[in-house]
C-alpha cells in the first residue's frame, strides 16, 4: 500500500515537473551579436557598423529566400516622413551581368507599388565590399498623392551575383529631405563585410 | 520567376532545366517574359489540363496555384512544394539529385 502511494506521488511529481517545463519560456534567438569593436555580426555572415540608436532594426520577411534586413527611422513632419535602408542579397532584376544593366532592370520594379516618376540625380562608380560597384541616386515623385521619395541604390558583387543596398526617404511633396540619413547609410555600406562565402558560392 | 532566372547558371551546373507553366495566353507570357528578362521557356496552358494533372487547379478559378515540381530524367516526380519557391531548397535538392546520377 505504501509502495502504491509512493508510485502515485512519483507520477504526480512528474506531471508537475512537466507542466513546469511547459511554462518556461525559451530565450528568443536574435540573428546578430555585437563585436568588441562595436560592429554587428549578422548571422555570422555579415559585419557592419550599426546606425545610431534612433534607427530601428527592420527584419523583412525572407521572400523567395533573399536575405533582407535593414533599419528604419520615423522622421519629423507629415505623412509619409520615414527613412529606411536595407541590404538585399537579391535585388530586383535577373539577367544583366553589368551594374548598369542591373540598374535598368532594378528600376523597373523598385517601389513598384507607388506610381512614381523617377529622375536620376547622380550615377557614379563606387567601392562596395572591397570591389567595384555602382551608386545611383534618384528622386521619385507621385503628383497624385503629393508624395516624393529620394533614394540611393548601391550595387556590388558577392561572388557571381549582384547584391544591393538601398535607402529610401519619403516625404510629403512640400517636405524637405534630411541628407544626414544618407550619410548614415553610406557609413553602413562602407563598413559592410562578408564574413563567409554566400550559399550560392558553396554549391 | 526572377529567382529562377538568377539561378539558371546553377541549374545548368546541376544538369537541370526549368519550365514555367501558366494559364496566360502566349502574347501575355511573351510580354511578361520580355519585361522581366526571362529567357527560359514559359508554357501557355489556357485549357488548364496541366494544372489538373498536377492537382494545382483551384476549382472555379482562372489561375493555377503555385507549385514547384522537380522531375528526374526517368520522368519520376521527386520534389513537390507549394507556395513561393524555396530556391535554396531547390538548389540543394538539384545538387543532390545530380550527385546521385538521377539528373533531372
The ipTM (two decimal places) reads 0.84
Binning pLDDT at 50, 70 and 90, where does residue A87 land? very high
The β-bridge relationship of strands B20-22 and B42-44 is parallel
pLDDT value for A9:
39
Concatenating the DSSP letter of every residue in B5-53 gives HHTHHHHHHTT----EEESS-HHHHHHHHHHHT--S-EEE-TT-HHHHH
The per-residue pLDDT for range A132-181, each reduced to its tens digit, is: 999 999 999 999 999 999 999 999 999 999 999 999 999 999 999 999 99
Q: Per-residue pLDDT for A62 more than 90?
A: no
Say if CB A141 and CB A171 are below 8 A apart: no
Note whether B86 contacts A65, CB cutoff 8 Å.
Answer: yes
Say if CB A52 and CB A184 are below 8 A apart: yes
Helix, strand, or coil (residue B99): helix
- Residue ranges in chain B whose pLDDT is less than 70: 102-104
- Which residues of chain B approach chain A closer than 8 Å at the C-beta? 2-3, 5-6, 9-10, 13, 35-39, 84-88, 91-92, 95
Note whether B3 contacts A90, CB cutoff 8 Å.
Answer: yes
The per-residue pLDDT for range B54-71, each reduced to its tens digit, is: 888 888 888 899 999 999
Amino acid at each position: 500500500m505504501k509502495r502504491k502511494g509512493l508510485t502515485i506521488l512519483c507520477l504526480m511529481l512528474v506531471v508537475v515537473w512537466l507542466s513546469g517545463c511547459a511554462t518556461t519560456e525559451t530565450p528568443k534567438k536574435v540573428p546578430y551579436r555585437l563585436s568588441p569593436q562595436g560592429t554587428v555580426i549578422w548571422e555570422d555572415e555579415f559585419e557592419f557598423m550599426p546606425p545610431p540608436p534612433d534607427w530601428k532594426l527592420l527584419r523583412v520577411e525572407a521572400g523567395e529566400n533573399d536575405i533582407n534586413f535593414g533599419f528604419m527611422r520615423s522622421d519629423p513632419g507629415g505623412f509619409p516622413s520615414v527613412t529606411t535602408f536595407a541590404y538585399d542579397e537579391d535585388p530586383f532584376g535577373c539577367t544583366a551581368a553589368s551594374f548598369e544593366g542591373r540598374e535598368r532592370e532594378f528600376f523597373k520594379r523598385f517601389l513598384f507599388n507607388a506610381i512614381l516618376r523617377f529622375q536620376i540625380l547622380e550615377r557614379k562608380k563606387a567601392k562596395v565590399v572591397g570591389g567595384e560597384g555602382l551608386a545611383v541616386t534618384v528622386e521619385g515623385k507621385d503628383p497624385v498623392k503629393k508624395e516624393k521619395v529620394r533614394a540611393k541604390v548601391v550595387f556590388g558583387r558577392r561572388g557571381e551575383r549582384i547584391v544591393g543596398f538601398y535607402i529610401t526617404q519619403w516625404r510629403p511633396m512640400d517636405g524637405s529631405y534630411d541628407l544626414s540619413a544618407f550619410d548614415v547609410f553610406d557609413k553602413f555600406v562602407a563598413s559592410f563585410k562578408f564574413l563567409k562565402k554566400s550559399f550560392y558560392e558553396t554549391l | 520567376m526572377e529567382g529562377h532566372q538568377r539561378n539558371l547558371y546553377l541549374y545548368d551546373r546541376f544538369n537541370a532545366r526549368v519550365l514555367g507553366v501558366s494559364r496566360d495566353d502566349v502574347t501575355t507570357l511573351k510580354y511578361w517574359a520580355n519585361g522581366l528578362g526571362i529567357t527560359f521557356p514559359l508554357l501557355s496552358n489556357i485549357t488548364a489540363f496541366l494544372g489538373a494533372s498536377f492537382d494545382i487547379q483551384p476549382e472555379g478559378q482562372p489561375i493555377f496555384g503555385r507549385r514547384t515540381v522537380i522531375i528526374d530524367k526517368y520522368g519520376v516526380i521527386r520534389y513537390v512544394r507549394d507556395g513561393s519557391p524555396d530556391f535554396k531548397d531547390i538548389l540543394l535538392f538539384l545538387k543532390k539529385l545530380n550527385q546521385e546520377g538521377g539528373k533531372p
